[in-house]
Structure 1
């Protein structure tokens, strides 16, 4: 289990933090967990979450992986970008309220320019989802965000 609260690992705030905790993490992987609760930003009227939110759960798991790695090195948690996903597959249309979900992300590629690819799996009772996420974390994110556009 992570020694840090999830809010200290991802650059999200308040209701945008969808994960409850980091179950485990290593040099190349992470496992996170959440229980679907009523009243969230993305919940449907019955309290369930649409399956497409699984992509955000996977992305936040990747962000938590980067946050854990930064914390281990004594570095600040920095902003990253989800560039896209390939082949998102899910066997259900929604995740029911009260369901405990586990998300696993395995880093399959990362280069020195900040590009990365993660193989992700989301599971719960009768639920299986898979995707490959393409992510980007610029080496100097603050200066990257403040670059002036050419005239």
Structure 2
């Protein structure tokens, strides 16, 4: 089994906004993460769990971790990427329940000069698909220069 670095070494999210627990797989270009739904999580609602719309952010953070793994392979630190949009976010329920283990899988579909589209899925322990989407992201070579150019 492959050992992966702590999630904090792969993405820039911290404290309450760090929503995924760890990377559990990287095969070919597919990266998978894991989270166990807990009552101390930012979006947790007592008696209900975490709203399924938060799955979109689980997908986005797994994309960020995938990029962090690639950058780590090159000896580079994680950086901020930009979420451009989401198509067809679909969920099979309205909440993820306390104690539930979710596996998020991201697969790059196309990539061109820092812009990438990913097929994303969230699965339960039985492998049932709970959510799916296509997410578009962009990581400029120099975020500061890119943001200045947009003013």
Shift, 1:148, TM fit: 7.3
Q: Which residue of 1 aligns with 2:90?
A: 89
Shift, 1:146, TM fit: 4.1
5+ residue gaps in structure 1?
Answer: none
Q: Which residue of 2 aligns with 1:73?
A: 74
Q: Look up the SS of the partner of 1:23 in the other structure.
A: strand
Is 1:124 the counterpart of 2:120 in the alignment? no
TM-score by length of 2: 0.91
Alignment of 1:101-120 (within 5 A): 101-112=102-113, 114-120=114-120
Is 1:29 the counterpart of 2:40 in the alignment? no
Give aligned pairs, total. 148
Indicate if the aligned counterparts of 1:22 and 1:32 stay in contact, CA closer than 8 A: yes
Q: Which residue of 1 aligns with 2:145?
A: 143
TM-score by length of 1: 0.91
Task: Kindly report structure 1 stretches of 4+ aligned residues shifted beyond 6 Å.
Answer: none
Per-residue CA deviation, residues 81-124 of structure 1 (Å, 9 max, x unaligned), is 11111001111100000000000000001101x11100001011
Shift, 1:133, TM fit: 0.3
Shift, 1:145, TM fit: 3.1
Q: Which residue of 2 aligns with 1:44?
A: 45
| Structure 1 residues 60 and 74: CA distance shift in structure 2, 3 A | same
Tell me how far apart the structure 1 counterparts of residues 145 and 28 of structure 2 sit (CA, whole Å).
Answer: 27
Per-residue CA deviation, residues 110-141 of structure 1 (Å, 9 max, x unaligned), is 101x1110000101156521100011111211
Q: Look up the SS of the partner of 2:39 in the other structure.
A: coil
